[in-house]
Structure 1
Amino acid sequence: MQASFAHALLETDLPEVDEHGRFNVYRNNLRITLRNALRTTFPAVEKLVGEDYFSALTLLYVERHPPRSPIMTEYGHDFAAFLSGFSPLSDYPYLADVARLEFARVQAYHAADTHNFRMDSEASAIAALDIRAMLHPSVTVVVSENPALSIWRAQLEPDATPLIPDATETAIIWRQDDLVTEMLAHADDALLLRHFAQSQTFAALISEFPDDPSVATLIARFINLAIAGIIVPTHTPIEGEMK
C-alpha cells in the first residue's frame, strides 16, 4: 500500500483522489519540493540546458525517480545516470559529469568532520609519512572524459576563463572547514588517492619502489594534499600528539 501511495504522489496521469482535491494539492506540493531540491543541487546543469528545459527535465526525473530518503540533500543521487541515459541529451555527455560534480559538492558540505594533519614544521611533515591516513570523509573524485570542472566553473564562477580546454579532467571535491572546494587532480594524485582510500601510511607506499626518482614528487604531493585537508589521519589524536 505504501508503494502504491508513493506512486500516486508522483504519477501525473492519475485522476483526482477526492472531491476536494486535497491529495492532488499534496501531490503537486511534493513535486515542487523535489524539483526545487534538484534546482538547488544542480545550478550549473540548469544554466547549461536552460531554465525551461531543466524544468521539464526535472519533472520527468521526479516521476521516474521517487526519493528514497526523507533527507532532501540526498535526492538526485542518480540524476547524473538519468542524464547519461536520456537520449535527447546524447550529444552533451559532459552534462552527466557536471551533475556528478555538483552532487558531490552537496554531499561534501554535509559529510562528517575529522581532524587534519598539523603541518606547521618540517618535523611534523616528516612524522606524517609514518601515520596511517585516509581520505577526508567529504572527498569525492570525479573522473571525466570531458572538461567537467572547467565547464562547471564557467557557469558559476564569474572570474572563470571562458576558454574551455578540450581535455579530460579529474576533479577532487572536498570540504575545508565549512567551505566546499574543488581542484584539478595532479598527475600523481591518482596513486595517492587510491592508496589512502585503503587507510595506509605513506611509508608503505614508497616502500614498494624506494629508489624511484618520483618518490620526491609523491612526498611533495602528499604534503600538499595533507595541508589541504584531503588526506587526514585515521585516528583522533590525543593531547600532545601530532594532529
Structure 2
Amino acid sequence: MKNWRNKGITLLCVSMLVVIVAGCNSDSDAKSEVKTFNSDNIKEIYVQTDSQNIELSRSSNEQIEVRSTDKGVTTAEEGGSLKVNAPESSSVFNPKTTTVYVALPNQLYEKVNLTTKSGKITGKDSKTKELNVSGDSGSIDINGFEGEKIVTHMSAGDINLVGISGGMEASADTGNINISHQGEIGQDSSVRSNSGGIEVKLDPAPSSLSINAVTNSGKIESSLKSSSGPSGSDKELHAQIGKVTDGSPVLSLETSSGTIVIK
C-alpha cells in the first residue's frame, strides 16, 4: 500500500513538472497573434504591460504591427492614438514571461510611451519627438533614438541608452545608468540614481554644454579636458564643452551612492 502511495506521489510530481516545463517554453513555441494598423492617422503609441516584456522595433512596411502569444493583449485605436494593454496573466501553471512586440514604420511620431510593472523593455531605432519608458522592476535597453527628448525611469533595474540624441531625463531608484549620446543635447537634461553608478559617453560631443556632476558616496571620473571642480574633491565636478552662453543647455548628473564616469 505504501509503495502504491509513493508511486502516486511520484506520478503527480512528474505530471506537474511536465506542465511547468511546457509553460516555460519561449514565445516561438506558441502561435503569435498579429494585429496591424494603418499608421497614417496614428501620432501617439501607448504600450502598458503587467509582467510581460516589451520590444519596440522598426517595421519593414508602412503598417504598425502588434504581435504577442499572450491572448489577453488588447489594442484600441482612439483618435490619433494606439493603445496596447497586456494585463496580468491568469494562468497558474504558465510562469513564462511573454513579450509584446510592437513594430513601427519609419516616420516621426509625437509620443511613444512604454510602461511595465515587471519586465524588460527594449527598443531599437526609435523615431519620435518624445519617448517615455518606465518600469517598476526589470531593465530598459534603448538602442537608437531620434527625437527631441527621451525620458526613462526604473524603480529597480538598470537603464542602458545607446546611440541616442536630443534631451534626456534618466532616473533609477536602484540601478546603474549607462548612456551613449550623439551630438547636440538641445535642452537641460538630467541623469540621477539613488543607488547605482552613472556612465555618460558624449560622442560626438555637443558644440555647447555645461556639466554639473555630484556623488555623495563614490567618486567622479572624467576625460573632459575642460573639467574643473573644488580643489581636492573627487565628488563634485563642473565642466564646459565648447563655447557656453547663458542659453546653453545644462547636463546634471547625480548619484547618492555610486561612481560617475564622463567620457
TM-score between both structures, scaled by the size of structure 2: 0.27
TM-score between both structures, scaled by the size of structure 1: 0.28
**Which protein, 1 or 2, shows the higher relative CO under an 8 Å CA cutoff with sep ≥ 6?**
1
- The answer to which structure has the higher strand fraction is 2
